[in-house]
Amino acid sequence: MSKKKRLIGLLYIAVLCSQGLCAQTRQMGIEELFRLADEQSKSIQTYRTGAESAEEALKAAKAQRLPDVNVSLSASYWGNGKLWDRDFGNAMTVDMPHFGNNFALEAQQVIYAGGAISSGIKQAEIGKALAELDLQKNVQEIRFLLVGHYLNVYKLDNQIRVVQKNMELIEEVIANMKARREQGTVLKNDITRYELQKEQLNLQLSRVEDARKIANHQLVTALHLPEGTEISPDTYLLERQILTLTEDDWQDMAETNNILLKQTQAAIQMNEQKVKQERSERLPHISIVAAEHLDGPITIEVPVLDNNFNYWYIGIGVKYNLSSLFKNNKKLKQARLNVRQAQELHQLAQEQVENAVQEGYVNFLTAFTDLRTQKNSVKLADENYNVTENRYKNEMALLTDMLDASNMKLTADLGLVNTRINILYNYYKMKYITHTL
């Protein structure tokens, strides 16, 4: 009978795990978070594939330097020919060899194309660089998104601990009040009001726990971890030493590492190459050509000669598109305007990044000011709670005073936790703005 119960218990556990109710806790730090994102994020993988595609495009552009080689081979059946006078009189049949053959091998090597091939290769190189920058930018975006979810989970975990601690305090107060009621010094209505506050804390705890489940699910989904995994943030995260730099240092980091600035700079180079490409259309193209032919029969003679005729040649070919002198003017002007627009966009990006760094740095400093203020608030709230509690025990304060002191303490404790998390968030935001995550 005991074996049967054990088997039922194991089956019950298996069903719970299959439904995602058997959670697997996984403690994780920020660095491991980034490593998993780099390995498993579908978004990052998509951009990584784009970078690989750009690499192949560069190889294809470089292949344009190789010679063009064409070979053709054909066999045919020839019917008899007809021969007329100029007025189509006196028709006569001309016997033809019925088997025809043709073989041709032609090669052409471009030695000068006005810079079109070199420009195409340079554009492919810039395209590869842009694809790699897109990948790096996506990595930064995914990391910052995950940091937001991660810190949110951390914040909610701390809120849960704060609420639970305050619930323990309230339970102690209720227990003391019940003991005093037995002595006839406390009314039942007073206990009811505190029990009501306890229920409010229970509701708040339930809401925070639900919010924690949502944030954890978003984090697990983004990392493509098994369903039911519960992320446990690093408990020493708040003790981490925050790198405090000057605003000028952050500005220098942004100027060096910000990917948007690199992208707009690459866009300028790309458009400059397009100007060169349009200009190359107005220059001659020179190439070396060589060919080998074997044809039969020889039809330029009458009667037709049933022979194979072999010939070859080698030489230099020059091609010049005269229409480009009056057709490419508008395209060349457009390409130059695109260069100017790219330069203006780069300047605009510099302004945007500079403003973002300045705003982020001010918010970063404000977070430290908030922390100092919040620490004082917690200290004062604790002192007020202890004084009010002693006065209430000595019947020198009203129950409403105790409720106010308790709420003030809860608000201050939660504010301190949120402020510490906010410092971390602003720090990682500065690293995201400078793209040094």
Contact 264, 342 (CB under 8 A): yes
pLDDT band at 2 (very low <50, low <70, confident <90, very high): low
Whether pLDDT at 165 is above 50: yes
Q: Residue 225's closest CA among 37, 46, 47?
A: 37
Q: What average pLDDT does this structure show over 404-428? A: 86
pLDDT tens, position by position, 117-139: 888 899 999 999 999 999 999 99
pLDDT at 71: 93
Q: What is the CATH number of the domain that holds 394?
A: 1.20.1600.10
In 297-388, beta strands by DSSP E? 309-319
Q: What is the mean pLDDT of residues 137-159?
A: 90
Please check whether residues 108 and 126 belong to one and the same domain.
no
Q: What is residue 20's predicted lDDT score, i.e. its pLDDT? A: 46
Per-residue confidence at 9, pLDDT binned at 50, 70, 90?
A: low
Our count of domains for the chain comes to: 2
- What is the edge-to-edge ordering of all strands in the sheet holding 68-77? 68-77, 99-112, 285-296, 309-319
Mean pLDDT of 330-344: 90
Average pLDDT, the chain: 85
Residue burial 183-204, b: 16+ Cβ < 10 Å; e: rest: eeebeeebbebbeebbeebeeb
Check whether 399 has a pLDDT greater than 70: no
Question: Tell me, what's the pLDDT at 1?
Answer: 46
* Residue 28, pLDDT above cutoff 90: no
Pick from 52-61, 62-71, 227-236: least confident? 227-236
Q: Please state whether beta strands 285-296 and 229-233 pair in parallel, antiparallel, or not at all (unpaired).
A: unpaired
Q: Using CA atoms in the order 10, 13, 14, 18, what is the torsion angle rounded to 10 degrees?
A: 180
What interhelical angle do 42-62 and 30-40 show, nearest 10?
Answer: 50
Cβ-contact 379, 120 below 8 angstroms: no
Of residues 110 and 407, more confidently modeled = 110
Bond before 226 cis per omega within 30 degrees: no
Residue 405 resides in a domain: yes
Q: Is the pLDDT assigned to residue 361 strictly greater than 90?
A: yes
Q: Is residue 355 very low, low, confident or very high in pLDDT (cuts 50, 70, 90)?
A: very high
User: Buried (b) or exposed (e) across 285-296, using 16+ Cβ within 10 A?
Assistant: bebeeeeeeebb
Q: Is 22 within the bounds of a domain?
A: no
- At 354 the pLDDT is 95
* Beta-carbon contacts of residue 232 (< 8 Å; ≥ 6 apart): 25, 26, 27, 28
Give 280's Cβ-side CA count (13 Å radius): 17
**One domain, residues 273 and 142:** yes
Identify the domain containing residue 232 by its residue range.
27-66+117-282+327-433
Residues 165 and 298 in one domain: no
**289-305: average pLDDT:** 86
Is the pLDDT score of 62 beyond 50? yes
Claim to verify: residue 278 and residue 299 sit in the same structural domain: no
pLDDT at 7: 52
Residue 167: the pLDDT is: 83
Residues 132 and 228 in one domain: yes
- Quick one: tokens of 9? 């218990």
Q: Report yes or no on 18 lying in a domain.
A: no
Q: What is the mean predicted confidence (pLDDT) over 176-192?
A: 72
- Which tokens hold the place of 228? 């039911």
Question: Is the preceding omega at residue 303 within 30 degrees of 0, hence cis?
Answer: yes
Q: Please report the sign of the dihedral spanned by the C-alpha atoms of residue 190, residue 196, residue 197, residue 199.
A: positive
**Considering the domain boundaries, does residue 5 fall inside one?**
no
> Are residues 242 and 375 located together in one domain of the fold?
yes
| DSSP letter string, 103-161 | EEEEEEEEEE-TTHHHHHHHHHHHHHHHHHHHHHHHHHHHHHHHHHHHHHHHHHHHHHH
For residues 279-284, average pLDDT: 85
Q: Is 21 exposed, middle or buried (0-12, 13-18, 19+ CB in 10 A)?
A: exposed
Regarding whether 365 and 301 lie in a shared domain, the answer is: no
pTM: 0.79
Q: What amino acid is encoded at 329 in this protein?
A: N
Same domain, 94 and 242: no
3-class DSSP state of 225:
coil
Mean pLDDT of 383-399: 80
Question: In the prediction, which pLDDT does 22 show?
Answer: 52
Mean pLDDT within 88-112: 88
